[in-house]
Structure 1
Amino acid sequence: MSASNRRNQNQLDGQTILLIVALALVTVTLGTTWLAVTWGSHIDNVNPGMTRDPFNLFFGLLGGELVWPEAGTWILLATLAVLLVLGVLLAVGVTRARRRRSNVDGAATHMGKGRDLRALSTVGAKATAERLGVTDWLGVPIGITVAGRRKLYGSPEDMHVDIWGPRTGKSTSRAIPAILSAPGAVLNTSNKRDVLDATRDVRAANGGRVWAFDPQRIALEEPTWWWNPLSYVTDDVKAAKLAEHFATGSRAGDARADPYFDNAGQDLLAGFLLAAAVAGLPITKVFTWTTTPGDETPVDILREHGYDQMADAVDGQVNGESRRRDSVYGTAAQMASCLKVRAIGQWVTPLSGNTATDTRPQFDPHAFVRSTDTLYSLSKEGKGTAGPLVTALTAAVVEAAEELATTQPGGRLATPMLGVLDEAANVCRWHGLPDLYSHYGSRGIVLMTILQSWSQGVEVWGRDGMRKLWSASNIAVYGGGVKEPEFLGELSQMIGDYDKHTTSTSVGRGNRSTSHQVQRERTLDIADLGALPRGRAIVFASGAPATLIETVPWMKGPHAEAVRASIAAHDPANRAIPAGPVLNTSTRPEKAL
């Protein structure tokens, strides 16, 4: 039975309402009369030895056995005035509560509440933070329970996965509040500028620097700094990882990988990346090599630097059978195709190809994780996407944080780092993320992966990979707006059933009998979850029942005014957009006005 039907079923009928109103009127009449006569008689010294029973007093007054004291009139008026004020306040409170309630709120009484959520409460979050040595952060804010009105937090070791449909409030209620709460370094991925505009000035006010990686000009940022992806490639293992990011990020969601050519192309790309890294060449050289089959330069570089096995692997493709070689090179070129886009290249290569003459700051992931800086990485899917570079930059930062954590007490970051991977399936297709998810929580690296649907995750990580990611998260949040019955059905099963108690009365042949029944009903069914109203979300936390929460958008948070100011300051309408090329590679770029 849906939540709306349960609500209608539980509504009182007209006779019951009339009975309740009649009882209330009788109670008020008897109570106020008793109070006025008792106190008034004491003040006026009348009605000696009168009864204390409200009924006898009331009927005695009507029968003339008692007299109405003069002071009783003022007492009665004052009492009625107080009751009127209390009634108005109660009506206002009930009206406000009803406005805040939704069709599904009744289900909260059958879900997680009270002691079930102690670990997520303010007290529990503080205790966990102190145990982990974190003194200035309770954790990522989640929301307020509908039953009990308790604030919930994800601790500094909890990992998050969120599934919110389009325009359901995931940025305003999850991404932005999380970023604003973080005490240390923060990285964020997105395909829109809203989170960047809302949080950049607030984060900068805390003393950290803002790095906005915007190769596709989503936020109209200029490349006033750059990052060298090849700085990540310190050996052949890192080269293989970087090649995997290019392979995953460049493949369309519905594309089927070729078991031979995709692997061969990825291995060839790894060899080219390693050769460019050890030779100190710009990463754009890698794409050039993918378009020149037969060029043995990468092989020579690898042998010169002692990577003989990698050199042999690349040489096998360079001097392989021409038709097969051309297909492998074509696959590698497609994986690295983002490097041919001039606007993207300005963010990942030095000006004029010379690091010594490029005065722009160079982003260093290892310095970043030791700071309170914020990195925003923006890209969008489709032709010319910078997704592979966003994924590579994200992985480089997270792995730098992991390396730092191994040197700190307990093997975890003293000040946790937060990663909000918004639109992860579109802009940060990190293939190995499900396998690493639970591990990063123990390192003080708190990640929040936000998707628009379960199917998005399946496209990137496969069915088993998505289930692994979901299971590895300590905090899983469903924010509504998804139209996938299979996924919603599983959520409904996880929320569970409740015992519905019903009573029926029958009368026959002068006898009256009452029977009580208990039946199991689904707390929230598929229809309820599919139509989950905005402002509500379901939280699945480790060791606790599913919980219905009220989401808290940044507009109701402590940084509301600062966020509004940041949004206004970076409104695109207030910026002058250059009419010509974004950047002349022979000169230093200027900041847009």
Structure 2
Amino acid sequence: MTSPSPGGDLNTQVSWAIVGIAVTVLAVFTLAWTGGTLGSGLTGHGWQGPPFGLSTVGRLASDGPGQLWPGTPPAAVYGGMLALLVLLALPCALVARYFFHRAGAPKGLAGRRELAAMCPKGIEARARELRPTLKGREQLHPDETGNLLGDLTPNGPELRSSYEDVELDLMAPRAGKSTGIAIPRVLRAQGAVLLTSNKSDVYAVTRGEREKEGVVWTFDPQGIAHSPRAMWWNLLGECHTIEGARRLAGHFVASVNDDTAKKDFWISAAQNTLTALFLAAARGRASVADLLGWLADPADRTPVDLLRDAGLVAMAEQLQGTVRGAVETRDGIYETARQTVACLLDPEILAWVTPQPDLPEFRPDVHVLGTDTLYLLSKDGGGSAAGVIAGIADATMRAGVVAAERMGGRLDPPLTAVLDEAANVCRISDLPDLYSHFGSRGINVVTLLQSYRQGARVWGEMGMDALWSAATVKLLGAGLDDADFVQKISTLVGQHDVKTPTINRGKEGTTRSYSFRQEAVLPPDKIRALPKGTALLLATGIRPALIRLRPWYKEPGAGAISAAAKAEAAAITERAARRLTGVSFQKPAPAGPGSPYRG
């Protein structure tokens, strides 16, 4: 469209300048006249003001307020003017701030109205539908209604995901994964907690608070937090069925295979052999140490005999066929299998998965029904106990599914599973397939990865695509440097119309026309340059939104938590020093209110 410009020539510009000056003078005089009269009246010197005219403007400028408000102290007049100025400036500043924030917010992203289901009222209503224990209660704590994601930019409100959502977070190192996501999730959890990590920072910050809720179980076979061994988990406990044995074998295979979607002959054959050996050990009541002996000596017929005694003839025949095959093939399969479980050759790691008469046993089926906390800590790289970590994490989440089915379909309170460094220390091969199922069972899973490519390296492109699709809430933080992935995100965020003016000057004056063009809401370079502490929120059925994460150290009560974290960090340092000097640890049993393991 075309419209004449108000500043088309010099005469028009001068006219508008005169009008502007006149309006400004009138506004200032009105403020001074009203404020002076107000000050005079409030101090008891009368409400009669000077005439409201141009003569008063000149007298006020030349003689001051004494001649215009006779008998009124100048301080009272000036005080009234100042008070009125403040009263008018405050709402104007609030209105200006509102429009400034609206102008500064990226156009084309979701706002408060579109995110109503994730705002406090909407998420509370959803929580009452999902959690029967909340029905009938008038007041709910915000943490009972859902998981805090952050604050909508630029000025709120806070947004939460429901307990049926499953979350995938992609952020670079030191972009706020621990401080803004992992630690708050653990601190605010309502039910049982499961955390995996390759560092001790989340453990140190949250341990003290979680001890107030229940038993704290620390599975630390490689000394990440240098915790004394105060528990054991039965590695073969889930291997009495072929499915359970195959799943455990898959976790060990995945720990050494970067892409589970691409298994060569040796990897597949090693998984089949491990499945048979795990099943034989579980059915035959053998130990993990016995299983390692069978792997070291393929000619040992004990596992074949145990499988036959258990009635698993087909499995026994398959294992025997592997043993009787060509020597080169048999040795290749067994060597591959030995490599996958090599971490169990470390006696320190083996002790954590071997029955210990003087220590309590961790039982996943009991854990998911309470408010206890399980920390699973392991290094990544060579010698990693990732296969064991994945096994116990998978057993715990599967126990949650069974418990949910017995409860009528959903855990209440929900189980919170924070899989930090999932691609390094918790490679559950079929996690993408289980993701959406967990959400429907009240198992709130949060998977933290450094990049999309890191996940694709573990689960394959198709597996990572499935994980991405199954996650109902996705947070993309700072430091995403994968150009192809960032371009895809920019496409998903979409485009918006940009109004572009064009000025045309001619003999008849100046006209202005407007045209519209499509522009990306968030170009790839802006997504890559997201500031630390912010994240792009992608929720199912809602346009993307930009949020600010809420780091734990900026929340109420952070001082006490920080003090406890420093004490725990000091204790970790002391335990590390003792381990280096060879001083043995005392092995305290887990303690906590109402624990079924106490005594």
Secondary structure of the residue aligned to 1:448 is strand
1:381-392 paired onto structure 2 within 5 Å: 381-392=380-391
Secondary structure of the residue aligned to 1:263 is helix
C-alpha deviations, 1:483-519, integer Å up to 9, x for none? 1111111111112222222334443214221212222
TM (normalized to structure 2)? 0.85
What is residue 227 of structure 1 aligned with on the other side?
Answer: 233
**Compared with structure 1, are the counterparts of its residues 56 and 274 closer, same or farther at alpha carbon in structure 2 (3 Å cutoff)?**
farther
Q: Which amino acid aligns with 1:114?
A: R
Match status 1:402 vs 2:401: yes
Find the aligned partners of 1:293 and 1:222 in 2 and give their Cα distance.
35
TM (normalized to structure 1)? 0.86
Find the aligned partners of 2:478 and 2:252 in 1 and give their Cα distance.
32
Find the aligned partners of 1:545 and 1:19 in 2 and give their Cα distance.
47
Identity over aligned pairs, percent: 36
Report the CA distance between 1:393 and its aligned residue. Answer: 0.4
**Compared with structure 1, are the counterparts of its residues 263 and 582 closer, same or farther at alpha carbon in structure 2 (3 Å cutoff)?**
farther
**Compared with structure 1, are the counterparts of its residues 497 and 107 closer, same or farther at alpha carbon in structure 2 (3 Å cutoff)?**
farther
**Compared with structure 1, are the counterparts of its residues 261 and 370 closer, same or farther at alpha carbon in structure 2 (3 Å cutoff)?**
same
Find the aligned partners of 2:588 and 2:341 in 1 and give their Cα distance.
28
Find the aligned partners of 1:403 and 1:459 in 2 and give their Cα distance.
30
Q: Is the 8 A contact 1:583 1:589 kept in 2?
A: no
What is residue 563 of structure 1 aligned with on the other side?
Answer: 561
1:104-183 paired onto structure 2 within 5 Å: 106-133=104-131, 135=134, 137-183=144-190
What is residue 217 of structure 2 aligned with on the other side?
Answer: 211
Q: 1:279 aligns with which of 272, 281, 284?
A: 284
What is residue 455 of structure 1 aligned with on the other side?
Answer: 453
**Compared with structure 1, are the counterparts of its residues 93 and 408 closer, same or farther at alpha carbon in structure 2 (3 Å cutoff)?**
same
Match status 1:239 vs 2:240: no
**Compared with structure 1, are the counterparts of its residues 113 and 23 closer, same or farther at alpha carbon in structure 2 (3 Å cutoff)?**
farther
Report the CA distance between 1:84 and its aligned residue. Answer: 7.2
**Compared with structure 1, are the counterparts of its residues 87 and 60 closer, same or farther at alpha carbon in structure 2 (3 Å cutoff)?**
closer
Find the aligned partners of 1:471 and 1:291 in 2 and give their Cα distance.
42
**Compared with structure 1, are the counterparts of its residues 591 and 228 closer, same or farther at alpha carbon in structure 2 (3 Å cutoff)?**
closer
Secondary structure of the residue aligned to 1:577 is helix
What is residue 579 of structure 2 aligned with on the other side?
Answer: 578
Secondary structure of the residue aligned to 2:335 is helix
Report the CA distance between 1:114 and its aligned residue. Answer: 1.6
**Compared with structure 1, are the counterparts of its residues 422 and 105 closer, same or farther at alpha carbon in structure 2 (3 Å cutoff)?**
farther
**Compared with structure 1, are the counterparts of its residues 407 and 479 closer, same or farther at alpha carbon in structure 2 (3 Å cutoff)?**
same
What is residue 430 of structure 1 aligned with on the other side?
Answer: 428
Gaps of 5+ in 1: 1-17, 352-357
Q: Which amino acid aligns with 2:454?
A: Q
Find the aligned partners of 2:112 and 2:393 in 1 and give their Cα distance.
38
Report the CA distance between 1:557 and its aligned residue. Answer: 1.8
Secondary structure of the residue aligned to 1:578 is helix
Aligned residues, how many?
A: 556
C-alpha deviations, 1:386-425, integer Å up to 9, x for none? 000000000000000000100113x111211000000000
C-alpha deviations, 1:226-254, integer Å up to 9, x for none? 11110111211111111001100133x37
Find the aligned partners of 1:330 and 1:452 in 2 and give their Cα distance.
32
Q: 1:335 aligns with which of 337, 340, 344?
A: 340
Q: Is the 8 A contact 1:36 1:75 kept in 2?
A: no
Find the aligned partners of 2:478 and 2:120 in 1 and give their Cα distance.
25
Gaps of 5+ in 2: 1-16, 135-139, 591-599
Judge which range, 37-46 or 519-528, deviates more.
37-46
Secondary structure of the residue aligned to 1:376 is strand
Report the CA distance between 1:320 and its aligned residue. Answer: 1.4
Report the CA distance between 1:107 and its aligned residue. Answer: 4.3
Find the aligned partners of 1:538 and 1:400 in 2 and give their Cα distance.
33
Find the aligned partners of 1:583 and 1:519 in 2 and give their Cα distance.
71
**Compared with structure 1, are the counterparts of its residues 505 and 41 closer, same or farther at alpha carbon in structure 2 (3 Å cutoff)?**
farther
Find the aligned partners of 2:19 and 2:260 in 1 and give their Cα distance.
65
Find the aligned partners of 1:322 and 1:19 in 2 and give their Cα distance.
102
Match status 1:185 vs 2:192: yes
Q: Is the 8 A contact 1:296 1:318 kept in 2?
A: no
Find the aligned partners of 1:581 and 1:254 in 2 and give their Cα distance.
39
Report the CA distance between 1:80 and its aligned residue. Answer: 4.4
What is residue 494 of structure 1 aligned with on the other side?
Answer: 492
1:16-55 paired onto structure 2 within 5 Å: 26=25, 29-36=28-35, 39=38, 44=46, 50-51=51-52
What is residue 3 of structure 1 aligned with on the other side?
Answer: none
Report the CA distance between 1:573 and its aligned residue. Answer: 3.5
Find the aligned partners of 2:324 and 2:560 in 1 and give their Cα distance.
60
What is residue 473 of structure 1 aligned with on the other side?
Answer: 471
Report the CA distance between 1:24 and its aligned residue. Answer: 9.6
**Compared with structure 1, are the counterparts of its residues 271 and 62 closer, same or farther at alpha carbon in structure 2 (3 Å cutoff)?**
closer
What is residue 594 of structure 2 aligned with on the other side?
Answer: none
Match status 1:417 vs 2:415: yes
**Compared with structure 1, are the counterparts of its residues 26 and 389 closer, same or farther at alpha carbon in structure 2 (3 Å cutoff)?**
farther
What is residue 372 of structure 1 aligned with on the other side?
Answer: 371
RMSD: 3.4
